[in-house]
């Protein structure tokens, strides 16, 4: 019999995470016995002994950056993003990566969409960085980053890092544009192949709000929202009304969870199994939402 895997998701606060539901299913698909804990950890330094005793764990807010000083090593993409959501434990040492970017890319591919063409990215936090660097992996990428006025300097640091990395990797013909939301709304001529929302705008309990207007959405051929609760955000509702192709955050959540197993065990999953998990996870979220009503 396979060895029991001791795994967890860590964060603070962490009451309503979907990780146990997703990971229990993914471990079961591999036939691996699992003990998966939800660990609410306010201060990482006080729980390192516990974390080093695990086989692997997932990381969520606010520890995606906080975990980095405790790692023996991390992947280049995680280093660039300054964010880690997946950790493997080997002989008490921690090794980290981020699966957010590839999770988004694979969720898009499920709908026949690619991280290519003229892309509009909303936000400049951890999730936005992961999506930005995943986009910058593509040759000749065209990326517009929209942010709040007060975040413009922070977004400029991200844009400069993207450009430096692209040049080091021999990329040519790329273009990076920075805009405030006010500039984005005012410019009615720019059109985009794909809008990526990497902000928390529209997330429960503040649902019913879109990060951009219907006018901006009308200039985008397809729309992705990293928010998964609610399943249909106001952004996605407006995009569907305008006849746009839409992809929700739950699919990214499923695919980034599946990618964590590549880092932990070198495991891959059948597409039909991940399709079913996407459907089941959406149903589980609806069940939990109704239970709170």
| Residues with a known catalytic role | 64
Distances (CA, A) of 280 to 203, 254, 285, 287: 20, 10, 9, 10
Query: Which positions ≥6 away from 287 have C-beta within 8 Å?
Result: none
Determine the longest span between alpha carbons in the chain, in angstroms.
Answer: 62
Phi and psi for 42 in degrees, rounded to 5? -70, -40
CB 174 within 8 A of CB 140: yes
Residues belonging to the chain? 293
* Beta-carbon count within 10 A of 121 CB: 27
Which residues sit opposite 194 in a β-bridge? 119
For residues 168 and 260, give the distance between their C-alpha atoms in angstroms, rounded to a whole number: 27
Of 89, 103, 100, nearest in space to 130 by CA: 100
């Amino acid at each position: 019999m396979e060895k029991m895997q001791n795994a967890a998701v860590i964060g603070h606060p962490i009451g309503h995470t979907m990780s146990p539901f997703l990971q229990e299913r993914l471990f079961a698909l591999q036939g691996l016995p699992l003990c998966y804990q939800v660990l609410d950890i306010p201060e990482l330094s006080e729980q390192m002994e516990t974390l080093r005793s695990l086989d692997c764990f997932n990381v969520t807010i606010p520890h995606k950056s906080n975990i980095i000083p405790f790692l023996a090593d991390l992947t280049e993409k995680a280093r660039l993003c300054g964010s880690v959501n997946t950790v493997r434990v080997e002989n008490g040492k921690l090794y980290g990566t981020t699966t957010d970017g590839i999770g988004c890319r694979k969720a898009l591919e499920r709908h026949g969409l690619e991280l290519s063409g003229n892309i509009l990215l909303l936000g400049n936090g951890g999730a936005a960085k992961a999506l930005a660097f995943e986009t910058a992996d593509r040759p000749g990428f065209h990326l517009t980053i929209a942010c709040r006025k007060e975040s413009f300097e922070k977004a400029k640091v991200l844009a400069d890092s993207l450009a430096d990395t692209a040049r080091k990797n021999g990329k040519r013909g790329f273009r990076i544009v920075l805009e405030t939301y006010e500039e984005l709304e005012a410019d009615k001529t720019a059109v985009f192949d794909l809008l990526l929302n990497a902000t928390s705008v529209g997330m429960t309990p503040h649902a019913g709000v879109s990060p951009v207007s219907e006018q901006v959405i009308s200039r985008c051929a397809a729309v992705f929202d990293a928010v998964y609760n609610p399943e249909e955000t106001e952004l996605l509702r407006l995009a569907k009304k305008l006849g746009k192709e839409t992809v929700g955050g739950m699919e990214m959540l499923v695919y980034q969870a599946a990618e964590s197993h590549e880092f932990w065990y070198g495991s891959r999953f059948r597409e039909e199994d991940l399709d079913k998990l996407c459907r089941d996870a959406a149903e589980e979220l609806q069940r939990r939402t109704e239970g709170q009503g």
